[in-house]
Structure 1
Amino acid sequence: MTYLVTGGSKMGKSTWAEDLALELAKDGPVHYIATFKPVDAEDALVIARHKKARAGRNFAVTEKHQGLEAVVIPPGAVVMLEDLPNLLANEVFDDGDVSSILPGLKFLKALAEHFIIVTNEVGSDGTVYDALTGNYVEALSFLNRQAACLSDVVVEVVCGFPQMIKGDGP
């Protein structure tokens, strides 16, 4: 089953998705694909905080900033992608291949028993952005729609509470 977990920034999406992944994995590992690429000391602190929060929990973490089809996971695994906005930013700003993202999602979906994609809700704030940011928001909105189509369940987390948008949630 594939889940898309969306919502605003700092609304509890990742915590909810991590709890779901661990529940689905039962006693097995969650194959956690971390896409956040540090560019400075502040980013390194964020990553250290995330690692500390996951410590002692059954996560097998792979840091993958681009090219999801190169990720090695066993068939039938529980996989969590954290997150789609960072993956897109890495592809856009590091001369990557944006067109590889959707096939990468389909690749992971085909391998995983359960695949959880975390993303951010963008484009509904009414803000007019500069061209580069506007293109990024448009691309992420497109990927979010495509990921929703691939997903059996779509959940929006609002203030820590999951709101089912599509399918029957856990």
Structure 2
Amino acid sequence: MRCLVLGGARSGKSGHGEQVINEWAPRQPVRYIATAPDRPGDEEWAERVRAHQQRRPAHWKTVRTDDLAAELDRDTSLPTMIDDLGMWLAAMMDQAGAWTDSSRASAPVDRLVDAVVRYPGPLVIVTPEVGMGIVPETRSGRAFRDEIGVLNARIAEECEKVVLVVAGIPLSLK
């Protein structure tokens, strides 16, 4: 079973994703793949990361990586949660220099989608829904908005369950 959880900033999407994986794999070890980058010297960011960590059960194992496809392929038996695709996509766009030509980020995106398709165990993927607001002023902002929209649609197509969290309320889409 695969579930995509979409939502805006601070909407409750991560918390809902944690609830879903707990329902699917109660009291089981869970691999939590964190995509948040280190931001040395940013105490507010560090506090956000700590709050997420403290909310998770002690028996969950956190893996920090930006190679999501390889990590999913590494162990296909563990119930897994990825949090979140937006930070991962931004890192991929940075690495590929894709802020002015987003097609440069297509290879890691394709690898991730393929890994999600292959993954046989419970998998919850958290991602931002950014296309519901204003059109970004910058080319890079528009590129990210467009690419996360396409990525979300591709992942949603492969998931049996898709949920949109708005103001803390989960709405089942699929």
Structure 1 counterpart of 2:51, one-letter code: R
Matched, 1:16 2:24: no
Within 5 Å, which residues of 2 pair with 1:7-156?
7-42=7-42, 43-54=45-56, 56-64=57-65, 66-71=66-71, 73-95=74-96, 98=105, 99-156=107-164
Structure 2 counterpart of 1:10, one-letter code: R
Matched, 1:160 2:168: yes
CA distance in structure 2 between the partners assigned to 1:59 and 1:112 by the alignment: 19
- Cα gap change, 1:139/1:102 in structure 2, threshold over 3 Å: closer, same or farther? same
- Cα gap change, 1:109/1:57 in structure 2, threshold over 3 Å: closer, same or farther? farther
Where does structure 1 lack aligned partners over 5 or more consecutive residues? none
Q: 1:138-170: per-residue Cα shift (whole Å, max 9, x none)?
A: 11111011011111111001121111111xxxx
User: Secondary structure in 2 aligned to 1:94?
Assistant: helix
User: Secondary structure in 2 aligned to 1:157?
Assistant: strand
User: Secondary structure in 2 aligned to 1:126?
Assistant: coil
Where does structure 2 lack aligned partners over 5 or more consecutive residues? 98-103
Aligned residues: 164
Q: Taking structure 2 as the reference length, what is the TM-score of the superposition?
A: 0.84
Q: 1:37-70: per-residue Cα shift (whole Å, max 9, x none)?
A: 022322333222322222x443111001x22232
CA distance in structure 2 between the partners assigned to 1:109 and 1:15 by the alignment: 24
CA distance in structure 2 between the partners assigned to 1:20 and 1:104 by the alignment: 21
Give 1:109 shift: 4.4
Q: Quick check: 1:128–1:134 contact (8 Å CA) kept in 2?
A: yes
User: Secondary structure in 1 aligned to 2:128?
Assistant: coil
Q: 1:103-153: per-residue Cα shift (whole Å, max 9, x none)?
A: 224314423411111011112213342001111111111101101111111
CA distance in structure 1 between the partners assigned to 2:64 and 2:117 by the alignment: 18
Q: Quick check: 2:136–2:142 contact (8 Å CA) kept in 1?
A: yes
CA distance in structure 2 between the partners assigned to 1:109 and 1:60 by the alignment: 23
- Cα gap change, 1:91/1:147 in structure 2, threshold over 3 Å: closer, same or farther? same
- Cα gap change, 1:142/1:13 in structure 2, threshold over 3 Å: closer, same or farther? same
